[in-house]
Structure 1
């Protein structure tokens, strides 16, 4: 069993629910997964509570939410010392075909910089939930002009498959620790 901390920064609960699902899947594989919002992490000893970390944030304006970005930048050395997986939750699945394909391939420089700093085992992007009330008037007009669709665009099978991959890597890590 590996102690895993699943941290998330969520604006409208979509990222929180993805983090919770990841935690559930890790627990089904026998790992001790503690899912917390970033604002529940205080002091400098939060990393001492885990052997591995899954860290995710909603994406707004091509970047992680400020608390998530600040946490990563403030703990780079500690994050590099343990197994870390990162995930981002955006809205690419809400976009129409050609725009979606472009968005799925696009590099978001601020997020790429965080990934480069931490060097996680993997970084995944998922789509979340987008509702009219999540956007201001100007954003809603632009959203509609692009031909986007409101709704829940989360791919739970993809989230669970990724969590299962993480669990398998953690199981191997635990076996190596016991053997060596």
Structure 2
């Protein structure tokens, strides 16, 4: 998410809106479960990041009974089925012409997309049981960081290199500079 917010060409209004929400919700206090529920724009930023950079970029399952996918494709018991959340998150057929753009607004004012469309936490009976915890944890960290600091990428015009793994690790991490916000008083 911090890459998407701070890369070259990123919309500064998005980070400004996110920081304002953090300030308005926390009001100088520590994040709580109640404040997490108010961070709608932060959640939109997080989910938009997960749409483009899912933690688990591809998956595979074995079909236990005959089934039909939403597009009409038949899968038979015993067959293996694979999909890529990474590819689906960038698909214009799934997300529209702006699929490759980082656009948190697509998550606001609408219902969450189906698990079939947004599969970053998988779908159906195998959906990630830690989804809500992971979301709370991420929004807490976002609030804690942005309430006191400003983050800038060391190389804002460089797309991080990713490794081949079950998850989507950045090979060299995400080199950043962290600056204390001048508009926040220290306690």
TM-score, normalisation: structure 1: 0.30
Higher helix content, 1 or 2: 1
Of structures 1 and 2, the larger Rg is shown by 2
